[in-house]
């Protein structure tokens, strides 16, 4: 038993986990050494022993009171045997039972309700084990044979009951059990001697009962302490996790604030750069001296527009993570919105040598959505499909209704595809499946995470299915609860166009 406890206490089990808790600031009372002394069953760290004693007392005091009261009742009921076994000292035995033992036991139970009584007073509770035991020893000392020779059985019941049922300290219960056994030996050897054969028989059974009871009490307390260690380990890990979570959330908020501020500050000069470069490229105020300058101005505008789109994505994803990306909803025609979004990709697809197809499968209803974010979903998904589809490939864009009647926007390509293991990763911000040193495609890794955030705000979903070397299909689904009748004014305006 001592060897097994030493193994647990040596750092190979949960009984000693101080090596993993070195930051005492994270835990009230220090890092915590959960080493258990195999002989006393006490924690070597005083604060930990104090905490265990307090918690164990608070949990077991109700059961202890009940056990003491029940012990008094059982002790009183056994008085029914007194007239048959020790009739010669019947009234003395009843006085011991009802005049001394039972009142003392009930008094101890009542004492536990005192405001000052706490776990440090377990020695008083241990007297509840000694009182009935010493009372039986007193009866044995007073009674004549054969009663004095038979009442050792009462000691077996008392010692077993006290050790196995009451959650008292192992040291106290052991001391009381051995003390009661020693008192019995003094009586049967010197006060009221009995024949050696009976003495040997009684001592053998009584010694075995004491040994088994003490062992059971030892195991019980050891398991209680192990359970306390496990709970303490979980409690401290929870405190550490909460602290780390708080720090992580603070860092994330700081990051989002930084991104939002920097994105806002960068957008103003970028808009000026794009605007002035567009004026120069279009030669709005007259011809440029060198034709190449107009080409360079066009490159500046394209680069600025690309950088502005990245900044907008960063701003949107930081707002979404901070819970500040709000929907500006209105009725929109999904088909017309997609038609406008696809116009900007037709020239791009032609330059890349990729065939771009757009198909409407069903009679598509209008929906309540944020027009800008709806377009951004279509733009991000289509841009990704074109970017990863090689020359001669094909990108299909379809809008329709699924089996449950929800609106689905599906983008399928014949691109490079994605490994199954990487599908979940690409929905994390700034994640690129390709190695940073060998990337052949540009991008920040914000497109798909932003699409997932936007779809979540709309109560929808985004799903991706891909096969390496064959292509990818990604489907954004808007719930049918967003369907709405078309706005007559808007519908007339589209028809006029």
Longest CA–CA separation in the chain, Å: 135
Q: Which of 342-351, 428-437, 473-482 has the highest mean pLDDT?
A: 473-482
Measured distance CA(278)–CA(294) in Å, rounded: 9
User: Which one is predicted more confidently, 182 or 424?
Assistant: 182
pLDDT band at 10; cut points 50, 70, 90: very low
Q: How many CB atoms lie within 10 A of CB 339?
A: 13
pLDDT tens column, 320-339: 766 667 888 999 999 998 88
Q: 239 and 26 in contact (C-beta within 8 Å)? A: yes
36, 15 in Cβ contact below 8 A?
yes
Over 70: is that where the pLDDT of 495 sits?
A: no
In the prediction, which pLDDT does 453 show?
Answer: 87
Q: Where are the domains of the chain?
A: 2-244, 258-321, 333-496
Q: What is residue 433's predicted lDDT score, i.e. its pLDDT?
A: 53
pLDDT at res. 88: 93
Q: What is the pLDDT confidence band of residue 201, given thresholds at 50, 70 and 90?
A: very high
Which pair of structure tokens corresponds to residue 98?
């009802």
Q: How large a percentage of the chain has pLDDT more than 70?
A: 85
Q: What is the mean pLDDT of the chain?
A: 82
Among 333, 316, 250, which residue's Cα sits nearest to residue 457? 316
- Look at residue 77 and tell me whether its pLDDT is greater than 90: yes
Average pLDDT value for residue range 382-404: 90
φ/ψ (deg, to 5) at 465: -130, 130
Burial 226-250 (b: 16+ CB within 10 A, else e): bebbeebbeebeeeeeeeeeeeeee
Which has the closest alpha carbon to 187: 221, 139, 235, 227? 139
Residue 464 Rama label (left phi>0; alpha psi -120 to 50; beta): beta
Q: What is the mean pLDDT of residues 100-122?
A: 92
- State residue 488's pLDDT score: 56
pLDDT of residue 28: 41
Q: What is the pLDDT of residue 474?
A: 92
Is residue 362 helix, strand or coil? coil
Report residue 410 as tokens. 């599906």
The pLDDT of residue 435:
42
Reported as a single tens digit per residue, the pLDDT across 271-316 is 788 787 878 777 777 777 777 777 777 778 777 776 777 777 777 7
Task: Between 319 and 474, name the one with better pLDDT.
Answer: 474
Backbone phi, psi, residue 357, to 5°: -120, 140
The CA distances from residue 104 to 91, 350, 373, 454, 484, in Å, are 18, 100, 79, 74, 81
pLDDT confidence of residue 425: 73
Q: Which of 273, 274, 294, 275 is nearest to 283 (CA)?
A: 294
Separation CA 341–CA 411 (nearest Å): 13
- Report the distance separating Cα 309 and Cα 398, nearest Å: 25
Which of 35-39, 73-77, 161-165 has the weakest average pLDDT? 161-165
| pLDDT value of residue 275 | 80
- Quote the CA–CA distance of 293 and 452 in Å, as a whole number: 41
Region 211-236: what's the mean pLDDT?
90
- Of 158, 159, 155, 172, the closest CA to residue 221 belongs to 172
Helix 371-387 with 334-352: angle, nearest 10 deg: 30
- Contact in structure between 36 and 5 (CB atoms under 8 Å): yes
Residues 6+ apart with CB under 8 A from 376: 316, 450, 451, 454
b/e string for 35-54 if b means 16 or more Cβ within 10 A?
Answer: bbebeebbbebeebbebbbe
Least confident of 14-28, 306-320, 436-450: 14-28
pLDDT at 123: 82
pLDDT of residue 14: 40
| Mean pLDDT, range 413-442, rounded to an integer | 65
pLDDT band at residue 2, thresholds of 50, 70 and 90? very low
Question: Is residue 159's pLDDT more than 70?
Answer: yes
**pLDDT tier at 496, thresholds 50, 70, 90:** very low
Spatial strand order of the sheet with 366-369 comes to 330-332, 366-369, 483-484
How confident is the model over 342-362, as a mean pLDDT? 86
As separate numbers, helices (DSSP H) first and strands (DSSP E) second, the chain gives: 15, 8
Classified by CATH at the fold level, domain 333-496 comes out as: Heat Shock Protein 90 (3.30.565)
Count CB neighbours of 297 within 10 A: 19
- Stronger pLDDT, 122 or 183, i.e. the higher one: 183
Q: Is residue 263 very low, low, confident or very high in pLDDT (cuts 50, 70, 90)? A: low
What pLDDT was estimated at residue 219? 92
Q: What are phi and psi of 486, to 5 degrees?
A: -65, 145
**Pick from 169-183, 452-466, 480-494: least confident:** 480-494
Eight-state DSSP code of residue 36: B
Angstrom distance (rounded) from CA 71 to CA 387: 82
Instruction: Give the model's confidence band at 4: pLDDT under 50 very low, under 70 low, under 90 confident, else very high.
Output: very low
**pLDDT(489) > 80:** no
**Under 8 Å between Cβ of 476 and 381:** yes
- 497 vs 73: which has the higher pLDDT: 73
Rounded-to-integer distance, Cα 182 and Cα 133, Å = 11
What's the DSSP call for residue 86? -
pLDDT bracket for residue 490 (50, 70, 90): low
């Amino acid at each position: 038993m001592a060897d097994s406890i030493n193994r647990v206490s040596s750092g190979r089990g949960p009984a000693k986990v101080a090596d993993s808790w070195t930051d005492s600031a994270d835990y009230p009372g220090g890092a915590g050494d959960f080493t258990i002394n195999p002989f006393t069953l006490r924690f070597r760290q005083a604060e930990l022993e104090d905490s265990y004693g307090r918690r164990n007392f608070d949990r077991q005091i109700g059961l202890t009171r009940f056990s003491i009261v029940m012990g008094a009742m059982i002790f009183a009921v056994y008085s029914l045997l007194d007239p048959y076994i020790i009739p010669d000292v019947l009234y003395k035995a009843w006085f011991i039972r009802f005049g001394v033992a039972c009142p003392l036991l009930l008094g101890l139970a009542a004492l536990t309700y005192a405001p000052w009584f706490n776990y440090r007073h377990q020695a008083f509770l241990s007297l509840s084990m000694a009182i009935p035991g010493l009372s039986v020893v007193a009866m044995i000392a007073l009674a004549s044979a054969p009663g004095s020779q038979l009442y050792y059985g009462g000691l077996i019941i008392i010692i077993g009951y006290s050790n196995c049922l009451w959650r008292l300290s192992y040291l106290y219960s052991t001391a009381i059990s051995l003390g009661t056994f020693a008192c019995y030996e003094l009586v049967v050897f010197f006060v009221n001697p009995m024949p050696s054969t009976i003495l040997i028989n009684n001592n053998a059974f009584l010694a075995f009962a004491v040994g088994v009871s003490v062992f059971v009490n030892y195991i019980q307390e050891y398991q209680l302490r192990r359970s306390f260690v496990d709970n303490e380990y979980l409690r401290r890990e929870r405190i550490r996790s909460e602290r780390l979570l708080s720090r992580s959330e603070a860092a994330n908020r700081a990051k989002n604030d930084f991104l939002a501020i920097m994105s806002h500050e960068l957008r103003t000069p970028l808009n000026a750069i794009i605007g002035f470069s567009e004026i120069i490229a279009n030669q709005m105020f007259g011809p440029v001296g060198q034709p190449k300058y107009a080409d360079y101005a066009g490159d500046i505008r394209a680069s600025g527009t690309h950088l502005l789109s990245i900044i907008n994505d960063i701003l949107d994803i930081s707002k979404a993570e901070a819970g500040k990306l709000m929907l500006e909803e209105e009725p929109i025609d999904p088909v017309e919105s997609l038609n406008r979004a696809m116009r900007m990709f037709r020239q791009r697809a032609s330059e890349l040598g990729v065939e771009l197809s757009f198909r409407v499968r069903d009679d598509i209803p209008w929906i309540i959505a944020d027009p800008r974010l709806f377009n951004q979903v279509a733009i991000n998904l289509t841009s990704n499909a074109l970017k990863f589809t090689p020359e001669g490939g094909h990108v299909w864009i379809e809008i329709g209704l699924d089996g449950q009647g929800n609106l689905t926007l599906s983008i399928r390509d014949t691109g490079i595809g994605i490994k199954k293991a990487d599908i979940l990763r690409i929905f994390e911000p700034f994640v690129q499946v390709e190695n940073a040193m060998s990337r052949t495609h540009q991008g920040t890794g914000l497109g798909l995470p932003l699409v997932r955030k936007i779809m979540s705000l709309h109560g929808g979903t985004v799903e991706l299915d891909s096969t390496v070397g064959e292509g990818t299909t990604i489907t954004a689904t808007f719930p049918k609860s967003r369907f709405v009748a078309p706005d007559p004014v808007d519908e007339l305006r589209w028809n006029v166009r």
